[in-house]
Amino acid sequence: MVRVLQNKTILLGVTGSIAAYKAAGLASQLTQAGAAVDVVMTRAATQFIGPLTFEALTRRHVVTDVMALLPDSQIWHVAMAKRADIFVIAPATAHTIAKLAHGLADDAVSATALDASRRAPLVIAPAMETGMWEHAATQENIAKLVARGAVIVPPGEGHLASGASGTGRLANADDLIDTIRAVLGRGGDLARRVIVVTAGGTQEPIDPVRVLANHSSGKMGWALAQAARDRGARVILIAGTTSLRVPRGVELMAASSAREMREAVLRAIVDADALVMAAAVADFRPAQTAEQKIKKGNTETLTLELVKNPDILADVARHSSRPAVVIGFAAETQELLVNARAKLESKNLDLIVANPVPSAFGSDIDRATLIERGGAATELPPLTKEDLSEKILDFIAARLKT
Ligand SMILES: Cc1cc2nc3c(=O)[nH]c(=O)nc-3n(C[C@H](O)[C@H](O)[C@H](O)COP(=O)(O)O)c2cc1C
């Protein structure tokens, strides 16, 4: 579960764009993630997708008429504006953006936006033809809204309704949800903190086409980075190999080999409050990287000589910029707790997350034990990587408070 979305009321404005159907997927994902989603639609939007779809997906009333009243004669859109934690307009047409910029309020979306703006941050995801998007009028309207504090999720490039290709496609749902999470998380318990997270596996080149690698998926570090962002932190994500999408609202540093990761970590920790090393870093690398692809030839065996890689956590422990909280992971196939405790001590960590290898790599559920310096060990029930991330961040937040 994504903690920052729990018990939040997200007001979703849908306007008359060909991308309106995508708002149904967004409403569904947010609802499943634990948020209450109130939908308001313009009249044009209802020509693209019916309110019934949103009503069924969110199990909540949908407002399409600015004049609509509740049975007790309260005004519907005012009631929705009052209870919203955030107002997201996705997709936002050029027309609605213009209305918002000028403070017009003659439909359910624009009227609600004016009313909600006092307490709920406004997120706008434009979708339109390239010409409309690039038009000076639209750009000036967007600049006005940004100056007033609106967050814009810029449109992407690709196929447009007209059949043309260009900038104007509604941002994808993952980017929208990332933005919503980040905006809701502003002012969280890690606000103004800098947290460095390493994630994924490293690759050590053998020749121009082959590498020594490991099974790390990057999911744990990704979940940590997103959860830290959701609690208001500035997050630097140092990513080894992974196929995962870069989360919005975190700063990415790519590091393919252990040596590159060491350089990136030592640079990133300078202003950091906490470092969480979730990456699976190779202990060894080939002594030499062949300049040309190694050919099979007639030999039956090939021996690779390996040399030790730098020990990043040991270097961090000695560094003058060691962050106040340093957390490591131990993924072991045997003697999990003994090996984890030894690593905790030798690397001078504040906390180690011990997890057995089958659950540590690739899986969405982790069976972890948290061991603090000084001895206290907490065996956690099986948790999603999102929930485990929150536990680790609870530790960081508590430590930084003291
Ligand atoms: C098939 C079709 C697709 C449209 N797609 C968009 C769009 O993606 N973005 C946009 O700004 N306008 C689009 N329009 C034009 C808007 O629907 C029109 O400007 C409308 O007045 C917007 O009203 P609203 O902002 O109140 O929803 C489209 C129109 C049609 C007929």
Model pLDDT, residue 374:
84
What is the C-alpha to C-alpha distance for residues 342 and 100, in angstroms, rounded to an integer?
Answer: 59
Q: Write the pLDDT tens digit of every residue in 285-317.
A: 999 999 999 998 888 999 999 999 999 999 999
Catalytic residue among 7, 141, 214, 309: 214
The amino acid occupying position 10 is I
pLDDT of residue 18: 96
Query: Which atom of ligand 1 is nearest to 170's Cα?
Result: 8
Reply yes or no on whether the pLDDT at 221 is more than 60: yes
User: Rounded CA gap, 297 and 226, in Å?
Assistant: 48
Residue 362: what pLDDT?
A: 60
Atom of ligand 1 nearest to the CA of 96: 25
Confidence label for 185 from pLDDT (cuts 50, 70 and 90): very high
pLDDT at position 358 is: 64
Give the helix ranges, DSSP H, for 61-195. Answer: 76-83, 94-102, 108-116, 130-134, 136-147, 173-185
Position 333 confidence tier, pLDDT thresholds 50, 70, 90: confident
pLDDT of residue 202: 96
18, 47, 112: residue to mutate for ligand 1 pocket, most atoms within 8 A of CB: 18
pLDDT for residue 348: 93
Answer for the pair 388, 2: CB distance below 8 angstroms, yes or no: no
Average pLDDT of the chain is 94
Share of the chain above pLDDT 90, in %: 86
Confidence bin at 179 (pLDDT 50/70/90):
very high
Look at residue 269 in the predicted model and tell me its pLDDT. 97
Work out the pLDDT band at 199, boundaries 50, 70, 90.
Answer: very high
Q: What is the average per-residue pLDDT within 167-187?
A: 96
CA–CA distance, 262 with 174 (Å, rounded to integer): 30
Q: Is the CB–ligand 1 distance for residue 203 below 6 Å?
A: no
Report the C-alpha gap between 321 and 341 in whole angstroms: 24
Give residue 48 CA to ligand 1 midpoint distance, Å.
9
Lowest mean pLDDT, pick from 1-5, 94-98, 378-382: 1-5
Q: Residue 387 pLDDT > 90, yes or no?
A: yes
Looking from the CA of residue 15, the nearest atom of ligand 1 is 27
Ligand 1 neighbour 185 (Cβ under 6 A): no
Kindly state if the Cβ of 132 falls inside 6 Å of ligand 1.
Answer: yes
Q: Examine the pLDDT at 360 and tell me if it is beyond 60.
A: no
Mean pLDDT of 333-356: 90
361 pLDDT band (50/70/90 cuts)?
A: low
Q: What is the mean pLDDT of residues 279-286?
A: 96
Distance from the alpha carbon of residue 163 to the mean position of ligand 1, in angstroms: 15
Centroid of ligand 1 to alpha carbon of 8 (angstroms): 29
pLDDT of res. 118:
81
d(CA 326, CA 400): 11
Taking alpha carbons only, the member of 67, 85, 143, 79 closest to residue 115 is 79
Q: Is 339 a catalytic residue?
A: no
* Average pLDDT rounded to a whole number, residues 339-368: 84
375 pLDDT band, cuts 50/70/90, is confident
Burial of 263 (0-12, 13-18, 19+ CB in 10 A): middle
Superfamily designation of domain 3-185: Flavin prenyltransferase-like (3.40.50.1950)
Give the relative orientation of helices 173-185 and 20-32 as an angle to the nearest 10 degrees. Answer: 50
- What token pair was written down for 106? 């003659």
Same topology between domain 3-185 and domain 194-401:
yes
Specify the CATH number of the domain 194-401: 3.40.50.10300
Phi then psi for 222, rounded to 5 degrees? -65, -45
Given a cut of 70, is residue 139 above it in pLDDT?
yes
Q: How many residues does the chain have?
A: 402
pLDDT band at 359, cuts 50/70/90?
low
Full DSSP string of 279-333: SB--SEEESS--SSPPP-TT-S-----EEEPP-HHHHHHHSTT--SEEEEEEEES
The rounded radius of gyration (Å) of the Cα atoms in the chain is: 25
- Domain locations in the chain? 3-185, 194-401
The pLDDT score that the predictor gives to residue 117 is 82
